[in-house]
Structure 1
């Protein structure tokens, strides 16, 4: 089980603006600790934490943050319209488009996805696989 995912950022204000444009709509709350960002899902009393957590941090070694080639973090949305709305919100908050929301021929018929880069260059996917919505073929 994945417990948490961390991406690096040099400009925490830009990172917070970008990630706070869509993660709260997916249920994540934000805590700040020593200037870093911790996005976590709420925990009901007596329940175990919902994982994974998502952290945005300055690199521990003090060097500039760099995006990994081939690395990507995907967040599940409730619907295709939420994917479109959150993709647009993230773009307006300083992200760059890496692939407009839609279906892709190489994925399953119900996999609706939009791709972004955060201000540091990390690749982010927002997707929905809601079987109650129309798929690629129908």
Structure 2
């Protein structure tokens, strides 16, 4: 089981605006811890890993991993479209508009974006 996922950020306030634009709608609650962000998933115990946004421990600038992506599951196609728009309005960059992709199954509806630091994310649903 994956316990947590961490992405780096140099600008924590910008990261908070971005992630808080859509993660609470997916049930995540925000906790601040030593200047970093901890998004705790719903459920007791949680059914998903915690998601942390932190300044790199070594003091160097954060960088996005090449080939690294975190995916968050939406409840419906409409929620996905709404969350994608909210994330873009909060400083994200579009990497693929919401829709179906020929390369995936017929019921896999997905959108891609990057956070203000350049970390790649996906929002997806298999709900019709």
* TM-score between both structures, scaled by the size of structure 1: 0.90
Give SS of 1:63's match: coil
Partner of 2:113: 116
Rounded to whole Å, the distance in 1 between the matches of 2:48 and 2:80 is 21
Runs of 4+ with deviation above 6 angstroms = none
- The corresponding residue for 1:26 is 26
Structure 1, unpaired ranges of 5+: 134-138
- 1:90 corresponds in structure 2 to 87
Partner of 1:88, secondary structure, is: helix
1:3 aligns with 2:6: no
- The 5-angstrom pairing of residues 21-100 of structure 1 reads 21-43=21-43, 47-100=44-97
Compared CA separation, residues 112 and 42, structure 1 to 2 (3 A): closer
48-57 vs 8-17, greater mean Cα deviation: 48-57
For the aligned residue pairs, the C-alpha RMSD in angstroms reads 0.9
The CA distance in 1 between the partners of 2:48 and 2:65, in whole Å, is 22
Deviation, structure 1 residue 41: 1.9
Superposed displacement of residue 48, structure 1: 2.5
Partner secondary structure for residue 83 of structure 2: helix
Q: How many residues align?
A: 128
Task: Structure 2: state its 5+ residue gaps.
Answer: none
Scaled by the length of structure 2, what TM-score is found?
0.97
Larger radius of gyration: 1
